[in-house]
Amino acid sequence: MDPRIREHAQIIADHSVDLQPGDNVVVDAHPVAEDLVVALHEVIGDVGANPLTTSQRTGTRNLRAYLRAAAGDDPENAEFETPAHELALIEETDVYIAIRASDNVTQTSDIPPSVDAAHRQAHSPVLEERLSTRWCLTQFPAPANAQLAEMSTEAYENFVWDAVNKDWADQRALQANMVEILDPADEVRIVSGEGTDVTMSVAGNPTQNDYGEHNLPGGEVFTAPVPDSVEGTVLFDMPLYHQGREITEVSLEFDGGEVVAHSAAKNEELLTEVLETDDGARRLGELGIGMNRDIDRFTYNMLFDEKMGDTVHMAIGRAYDDTVGEGNEQNESAVHVDMIVDMSEDSRIEVDGEVVQEDGRFVFE
Amino acid sequence: MDPRIREHAQIIADHSVDLQPGDNVVVDAHPVAEDLVVALHEVIGDVGANPLTTSQRTGTRNLRAYLRAAAGDDPENAEFETPAHELALIEETDVYIAIRASDNVTQTSDIPPSVDAAHRQAHSPVLEERLSTRWCLTQFPAPANAQLAEMSTEAYENFVWDAVNKDWADQRALQANMVEILDPADEVRIVSGEGTDVTMSVAGNPTQNDYGEHNLPGGEVFTAPVPDSVEGTVLFDMPLYHQGREITEVSLEFDGGEVVAHSAAKNEELLTEVLETDDGARRLGELGIGMNRDIDRFTYNMLFDEKMGDTVHMAIGRAYDDTVGEGNEQNESAVHVDMIVDMSEDSRIEVDGEVVQEDGRFVFE
């Protein structure tokens, strides 16, 4: 086994989820991630915790087969139950480790969005319980994921393990500089090229430092915009992958916090569908600043892309609880879709009128 | 997908576990059985039940890695907990489907037996709960399983699906003839060649008809000997595979029900270890008669071998609850190890002095 896989497993256990003797652990993975699952079982055995492996991730053939069969001839009205056994499992789980990997990243491309949405809705109590565990979402560099990134498998392995197997104490310290600026701030302005000039209030909303706990790799600082405060236009010049399909050159125009105009070069109708999910889907729920410079290229994978050095991202939809200050409005939505702006050239971030990043370079560097 | 896989899944759902809308289902499988797992998910979706896939089977790399790490430097004193999350899952499970398949059937060959035993002991509450579900153990014909059977993968696929995808109502009716003879009987005598001449009482113990419910394939009738009644010698001329190792030409001599002498041509020390597990391990817990004639060859896989036409098998160790009559003694043990006698030539089964099978041919045929 590649020694970097064991290192990856050890970082998950020691750094991300703080694995303890007696912990009840669920590892959820596609079979192509077997090596990392095995390495995790070694660590789980070393520590004296209790493992259970499941294979429920979106992108597995079994979940696709189930969803299509359950939807039958009437996908618009598909109905699902909250599975009592899965809920009971997760209620007794201390640590939940989800490994992203697939043998075909477009496996869900023929699941009608209405079916996926109904299934997620029924599973939301399970998701809520997962979020109350010490959880971690990470990536195994399977060939299909390398293909999505338009990289050879070996180059992609190097990319993933460079981004994951690093000194997280150092990364945390670097990011703390940005948290110090953003946390007490009122107004943020993002300017990039011709397409992006947007301002928003973050007043009273805490800024979080993501250094590889819930997401591995980590490498961003993030907060929530005040929902009604967003004004201006954003051109997300990096594509996004949603439900197995690519949406490119998304442009959103905000007025009083709401998206009042939108366009995309490819799959615009899918973007429209997302925006029409609910009221919250037409408002921002997150502003994030990517600071993991080992992520030096775009790979069509939000777990990495949003942490890429010299980028910012904004999500439409739900705001994370820990980014909304007491008494502030929290954007509520069934969706949370991240989109990215390249900040490496002809770009700047202003906080309360001061430039804190220009063409990718921070003032504290 | 091979249409026989969908047929296999449909038989599991309709015949073996009587799948119902709303059932909470666990499918446990090695990743190499993916096609059958997918086909099962189609049926589960069709019916409107709730699937969860786990990968905990003996023979997976993850379980091996965990067991070895947990045992550490002191395998003789390995300790395990009953995992509360796995127990909670199975307590809320209605249907449990275990799929046997591996990419290396000797995966457990370097797990010390003491570690395996300690782990099974800690898991026994989970196993007990599984047995209270509508459960089924079946086989997927993976290449490594074909290799164990010394067959090409294609020939093994034909073998498995011939044995599994059959008319179970017909098979049930055939076997009912033998149940009718054995159920009210007192004494059974098995004679085969020079090595086997054994008598035992089955008085008061019910005979069960296995027609593909808990085991798929099914194809045996079985009961429990009265523990202290077994007298004589048995040469098990078919090899058995225990903990990843082959034991051949097992010979057992019984006196007052107890094994008083034993030998084997290969791995005799493993046989000795099994016999020394506890008192029950030196007494019989099962007598079975194989009647599935689509199983026409020995494949080193007890799920098939014990149902092979023209064989009988006996298990040392624990007797099944439903084969022990009220007031009769039940053999108790931590083990249940089946061993097989070929009855196709120079052999007979006598029940209360009457020959009911001779050289593989039943009186009712």
Q: Which residue of B has its CA nearest to A94?
A: B85
**Residue contacts between A and B (CB atoms, under 8 Å):** 148
pLDDT digit string, tens, across residues B4-48: 999 999 999 999 999 999 999 999 999 999 999 999 999 999 999
List CB contacts (< 8 A) between B108 and chain A.
none
Q: How far is B58 from chain A (nearest CA, A)?
A: 13
Q: Which range is least confidently modeled, A105-109, A233-237, A283-287, B321-325?
A: A105-109
pLDDT digit string, tens, across residues A323-333: 999 999 999 99
Radius of gyration of the CA atoms of chain A, in A: 20
| pLDDT (average), residues A296-310 | 93
Whether A77 has its CB under 8 Å from any CB of chain B: the answer is no
Looking at the partner chain, which of B22, B39, B54 has a beta carbon nearest the beta carbon of A53? B54
Whether A193 has its CB under 8 Å from any CB of chain B: the answer is no
Which helix (H) or strand (E) element contains residue B94?
Answer: none
Predicted confidence at residue B338, as pLDDT, reads: 95
- Interatomic CA distance for residues B254 and B197, integer angstroms: 11
Predicted confidence at residue B143, as pLDDT, reads: 97
Q: How far is A194 from chain B (nearest CA, A)?
A: 49
Do the chains contact at B65 and A38, CB–CB below 8 Å?
yes
pTM of the predicted model over 0.95: no
Q: Which residues neighbour A98 within 8 Å (Cβ) at sequence distance 6 or greater?
A: A28, A29, A57, A135, A136, A137, A138
Which residues 89-118 on chain B approach chain A with CB closer than 8 angstroms? Answer: 89-93
Which residues 237-256 on chain B approach chain A with CB closer than 8 angstroms? Answer: none
Which of B27, B44, B50 to probe the A interface (max A CBs under 10 A)? B50
- Interatomic CA distance for residues A164 and B309, integer angstroms: 56
Which residues 15-54 on chain B approach chain A with CB closer than 8 angstroms? Answer: 22, 24, 26-27, 31, 34, 37-46, 48, 50-54
Predicted confidence at residue A334, as pLDDT, reads: 85
List CB contacts (< 8 A) between B60 and chain A.
53
Which residues 3-22 on chain B approach chain A with CB closer than 8 angstroms? Answer: 22
List CB contacts (< 8 A) between B46 and chain A.
69-70, 72
- ∠ Cα A80 A81 A87 (to 5°): 130
Q: Which residue ranges form the domains of chain B, and what is each CATH number? A: 3-164 (3.40.1830.10), 168-362 (no CATH)
Do the chains contact at A69 and B22, CB–CB below 8 Å?
no
Pairing of strands A354-358, A347-351: antiparallel
Do the chains contact at A38 and B62, CB–CB below 8 Å?
yes
Whether A73 has its CB under 8 Å from any CB of chain B: the answer is no
Q: Which residue of B has its CA nearest to A45?
A: B70
List CB contacts (< 8 A) between B86 and chain A.
24, 50, 52, 89
In terms of Cβ atoms closer than 10 Å to its own Cβ (0-12, 13-18, 19+), residue B255 is exposed
pLDDT digit string, tens, across residues A21-49: 999 999 999 999 999 999 999 999 999 99
- Interatomic CA distance for residues A356 and A132, integer angstroms: 35
| pLDDT (average), residues A201-222 | 97
Q: State the amino acid at position B235 in one-letter form.
A: L
ipTM value, please give it. 0.87
Residue B177: closest CA among B201, B204, B207, B203: B207
- ∠ Cα B133 B137 B142 (to 5°): 145
Distances (CA, A) of B364 to B30, B176, B219, B309, B357: 41, 11, 17, 15, 9
Cβ atoms B188, B229 nearer than 8 A: no
Structure tokens at A104: 């075909």
Do the chains contact at B54 and A51, CB–CB below 8 Å?
no
Whether B184 has its CB under 8 Å from any CB of chain A: the answer is no
Do the chains contact at A44 and B66, CB–CB below 8 Å?
yes
Predicted confidence at residue A106, as pLDDT, reads: 86
Residues of chain B with pLDDT under 70: 58-59
Work out the mean pLDDT of chain A and round it to a whole number. Answer: 95
| pLDDT (average), residues A91-107 | 95
Do the chains contact at A66 and B41, CB–CB below 8 Å?
yes
Q: Which is it for the CA torsion B53, B59, B62, B63, positive or negative?
A: positive
Do the chains contact at B84 and A92, CB–CB below 8 Å?
yes
- Please give the backbone phi and psi of residue A349, each rounded to the nearest 5 degrees, phi first: -110, 125
| Omega before residue B184 within 30° of 0, cis | no
| pLDDT (average), residues A221-233 | 97
pLDDT digit string, tens, across residues B295-317: 999 998 989 999 999 999 999 99
Do the chains contact at A50 and B81, CB–CB below 8 Å?
yes
Predicted confidence at residue B106, as pLDDT, reads: 86
Query: Predicted confidence band at A157 (pLDDT cuts at 50, 70, 90)?
Result: very high
Predicted confidence at residue A58, as pLDDT, reads: 66
Which of B54, B62, B90, B107 to probe the A interface (max A CBs under 10 A)? B62
Distances (CA, A) of B348 to A17, B230, B256, B342, B358: 63, 17, 23, 10, 4
Q: Which residue of B has its CA nearest to A32?
A: B31
Q: Which range is least confidently modeled, A113-127, A180-194, A271-285?
A: A113-127
Whether B189 has its CB under 8 Å from any CB of chain A: the answer is no
Predicted confidence at residue B245, as pLDDT, reads: 81
